[in-house]
Amino acid sequence: MSDKKKMNVRLFVPNVGQEELDNIKDSFDKAWIGLGPKVNQFEQEWREYIGCKASVGLNSATAALHLALAAFNFPEGKKVMVPAITFASTAFAPIYNRLEPLFVDVDPETLSLDLEDMERKYTKDVVAIMPVHMGGHPAQMDKIMDFARAKGLKVVEDCAHTAGASYKGKKIGTWGDIGCFSFEEKKAMTTGDGGMMVSDDEDLIYPMKANRWVGIDKDTWKRVGGYTDKAVDARHWHYDIAVLGYKYNMNDLAASIGLAQIKKLPGMNQRRADIVKRYLKGMEGLKSMKPLFPYNADENNYWIFGIHYAERDDLILYLKARGIATSVHYMPLPQQPYFQRWNNNDTPVADKIWQTMITLPLHSRLTDEEVDYVVDALHSYEKENQPKANATIE
């Protein structure tokens, strides 16, 4: 492949433009860029989009996962089931709450919680389950919810890799007691950094509005909104701090971006679906590589397009030399130094399968030409590396 033909294909690219800038300018013009009316508006529009009763805007999905578990006030030392393959925030959430992460092996097809291992590892110390919709491929929420209800467990859905998708006719994020979304720069939609927790139980998550705002029972916007009310006395400034709080609030600049992004989201999801289909069509005939998930782009909204390949590192270097960005989502958490204390060496599928995983470029601004360039590189690699390409993926 000559230098003339070489392209630079990014892994993830946010789809932002004039609509976001216009919303940000409006916040500038109103001189309100902190926790304010646009956060309230974004929370309302997200509730309507997801179809839930309550929502709380936050500065990250990490904060959402932390507060989601905090909402239940579980006794210290209890256990929360999390998949072995996920981002660190999923497993940090129990630890933040003085709980123990219990790592469950992953299903080799969906890379989400393995139901049999989940049942095998359950004990009476378990209080909650945190399924992850890995890469946007839905976890088996109907079966997980049946298990959770039978055992009296709470369910917090980690929806960081998807936004707007449904599973068996019900929106992802509304299956569990609480759903947590990510709007980080690279995700399905972005607010720069940001997150949201949602629920149909208003009494469960609305108290978390104090926890997100350093424990204060009413945020600055609400106090300012009543400042000129004639019925308000000189103590309009007063607030109570009754709970342990964090500086987890979303701000109006992030919400300004989110309000534009939520309008673009259906189109961005459709574009990613079209790209997934193009990848799958282009990969036909490859013998040594297979898709990371059983992709169904007509029903699911994917954030990751990836493949399995036995000689992963060789292929990553080959693609890198051709300007194609790649990654691996993710190394099993029990193998990470911090999580070694919870590593019982009992997640064999995760330990094996992650070594074959490669994430390829996927974002709504990816062009057909770029997709074809990536696919051509995969075919070229397989043709040039027949002995390695003959290695099987189990």
Give the chain's domains with CATH numbers: 18-262 (3.40.640.10), 266-389 (3.90.1150.10)
Structural element, H or E, at residue 242: none
DSSP letter (8 states) at residue 243:
S
| Half-sphere exposure (Cβ direction) of 112: Cα atoms closer than 13 Å | 23
Q: What is the pLDDT of residues 112-146, one digit of tens each?
A: 999 999 999 999 999 999 999 999 999 999 999 99
Instruction: Tell me if 230 sits within 8 A of 251, measured CB to CB.
Output: no
Other Cβ atoms closer than 10 A to 88? 14
Mean pLDDT over residues 276-303, rounded? 97
Q: What is the distance in angstroms between the CA of the first residue and the CA of the last residue of the chain? A: 31
- Distance, in Å, from the CA atom of 101 to the CA atom of 239, rounded to the nearest integer, reads 35
Query: Worst-scoring range by mean pLDDT, 2-6, 230-234, 296-300?
Result: 230-234
- Quick one: tokens of 276? 């997934």
Q: What confidence category does residue 148 fall into, taking pLDDT thresholds of 50, 70 and 90?
A: very high
Report the alpha-carbon distance of residue 14 to residue 184 in Å, rounded: 9
Report the alpha-carbon distance of residue 76 to residue 338 in Å, rounded.
20
Phi, psi of 324 (to 5 degrees): -100, 115
At residue 135, what are phi and psi to the nearest 5 degrees? 65, 5
Provide the token pair at 391. Answer: 């290695």
Reference 136, options 300, 357, 362, 264; nearest CA is 300
d(CA 301, CA 324): 23
345-374 pLDDT per residue, tens:
999 999 999 999 999 999 999 999 999 999
Q: For residue 388, is pLDDT > 70?
A: no
Q: Among candidates 68, 83, 147, 141, which has minimal Cα distance to 113?
A: 83
In DSSP notation, 264-316 reads HHHHHHHHHHHHHHHHHHHTTT-SS-EESS---TTT---S-EEEE-TTHHHHH
What is the pTM for the complete model shown?
Answer: 0.93
